[in-house]
Chains A and B, each alone.
Chain A
Amino acid sequence: MLNKNTQNYIANFITYTILIISSMAVILPFVWMIFSSFKTAGEIWTFPPVFMPKKFQWSNYIDAWNALPFDRFLFNSIFVTVCVTVGQLFTCSFGGYAFARLRFPGRDKLFLMYLATMMIPFPVLMIPLFIIMQSLGWTDTLKSLIVPCLFSAWGTFLMRQFMMGIPRALEDAAKIDGCNYWQLYWKIIVPQCKPVFATLGIFTFMGTWNNFFWPLIMINTIGKKTLPLGLVMFQTRIAAETPWHLIMAASCATVLPILILFVIGQKYYVKGVVTSGLKG
């Protein structure tokens, strides 16, 4: 029988070995993407593949940027994402506050309906949504990417659950001091809800930034496209021989902001995943 220390040592060794191997598997496509983004076309189309580019072609990033109107895509992506995120934080926190704190007829029934709609798959909604957008004349506009996304049953649910957990003592005191409901919301509830605002904010930001399906249905004009649509255009439209080095450069540039946001806001993101894995 090995003694406790040796056992522990072996266990740690095995743990690290497995973790390192699996990390390498996770990281490989990323590394490949980054290195490929700096290669020349010649280095891309060679077999056996070269892993590291001989010389880092920073110009790939400029070429990719100029090959398609990426400034437009970037602006559209940022604009849509910021509008949706800010909008959802407002509507969801309002709704969450009403559901968590205020008594009005039909509240619980409405909340149940919200819960029920959370499980409805997007492909079921997208056809009527498309028809609604068409009848409003909103197809092929950025509005169509923003307005329908300003509301989220999941976000409302998240807010409500969090607000239910806040002790009422502070609100009661403020009520006695004559605060109205708006003041209660703005001065008492919101300051205590920073973590859940962060969670919902990060989720919505990432979800909107990464969204591909809905913009694909809605947008036709190049000038209205977001980054994910732009990336796909690259893959299909540019040339007979796919310029992988440029695509990789564009992909790196698109992925980077999200990864930075994730690393900064990881704590809140993880909380969102854990408190309700419903968004999967």
Chain B
Amino acid sequence: MINKLFKLNYIQKEKIAGYSFLSPNLLGFLIFSLIPIIASVFLTFTSWNLASSPKFVGFENFANVLKDELFWTYLWNTFYYAIGTIPLTVILAFSLAYLLNRKIRGVVFFRTLQFLPSVTLLVAIAIVWSWLYNADFGLFNYFLGKIGITGPRWLQSKEWAMPAIIIMGIWKGTGYSMLIFLAGLQGIPERYYEAAEIDGANWWHKIVHITIPLISPTTFFVIVTTTIGSIQGFDQFYIMTRGGPSGATTTLVYYIFQNAFEWFKMGYAATVAMMLFIIVLILTLIQWHFSNKWVFDEGVE
């Protein structure tokens, strides 16, 4: 009788098991995700330099951000980088995926090669590219010189520093997007192409009328995720230019870093971070909204 009383029924057992299995994970989630998120909302209403205690300032930070000319310049820089990187990345990634989706020899070899930049640590890549971009001894200006162009001073030039980092961003990011395209392409049923061939379609017709329309959900996904990724870039800006020359490559994330960890303006930094969050949130919502509508649902074969 007593035994029976103390014996937990299976539903309770499952509950206990569920919470125990989740607990280490949940603890991490609470301390390192949820609490920081809530805290960063609170921080936006404070002025705090870490040394003294935080001071409540209401919406002052938000007002200051909106008035801050630097904020708008750096917001533009952030979008400049994203807009510069994405179109070429998408076009190159799609083209490469298209070619690698053909049944030819050596596909795996080429795919691996194309993917190498994506897995290499950005710090090392940024360092190597700084050397390639060196205005006097760098390889790029040597090549440009060979075809009769005097190369710009790249990372030291206000006009060319951002394009230089953009070019590197394309080089680094293409492989990753290519893989996602490749998966998308493999989801397009072979019979569509066969049917088109019977109707006398050539390769160009097939790309324009079958591949591109059917791959559009993937394209959309790639565009949104690479946008989200690229507006969060930091390493390359820190290593290659430190946001310079004179702020030409300072992005929002870099500005957050400066505010928080160079000038110790925690509240202000959190407010700029909240702006970044709003942008990412909007992009994510757009993606969720459209991905439900646009998903091509033929089933992966």
**Chain A residues within CB distance 8 Å of chain B:** 11-12, 15-16, 18-19, 22-23, 25-30, 32-33, 36, 44-49, 90-92, 94-95, 97-99, 102-105, 107, 110, 113-114, 117, 119-132, 134, 148, 150-151, 153, 156, 180-182, 185, 206, 209-210, 212-213, 216-217, 228, 231-232, 235, 244, 247-248, 251, 254-255, 258-259, 262-263, 266, 269-270, 273-274, 277-278, 280
Contacts and interface: CB of A to CB of B under 8 A. Distances in A.
B125 to A, nearest CB: 7
15 contacts: A12-B102, A18-B95, A26-B113, A26-B175, A27-B113, A94-B21, A103-B14, A120-B277, A120-B280, A125-B37, A127-B266, A128-B36, A156-B25, A274-B180, A280-B225
B25 A92 contact: yes
Given A26-B175, A94-B22, 11 more contacts: A23-B113, A28-B139, A32-B139, A33-B124, A44-B137, A117-B37, A121-B273, A124-B276, A127-B273, A212-B234, A262-B115
Contacts of A269: 119
A277 B222 contact: yes
B128 A123 contact: no
Contacts of A217: 257, 261
Contacts of B112: 263, 266
Interface of B: 11, 13-15, 17-19, 21-22, 24-29, 31-37, 39-40, 43, 50, 92, 95-96, 99-100, 102, 104, 110, 112-117, 119-125, 127-132, 136-139, 142, 145, 171, 175-176, 179-180, 183, 203, 221-222, 225-226, 228-229, 232, 234-235, 238-239, 252-253, 256-257, 260-261, 266, 269-270, 273-274, 276-277, 280-281, 284
Given A47-B136, A128-B43, A121 B280 contact: yes
A185 B21 contact: yes
Contacts of B120: 30, 255, 258-259
Given A16-B104, A232-B239, A259-B119, A213 B234 contact: yes
Q: Is the interface of B mostly helix, strand, loop or mixed?
A: helix
A127 B260 contact: yes
A98 B132 CA distance: 50
Contacts of A33: 124, 128
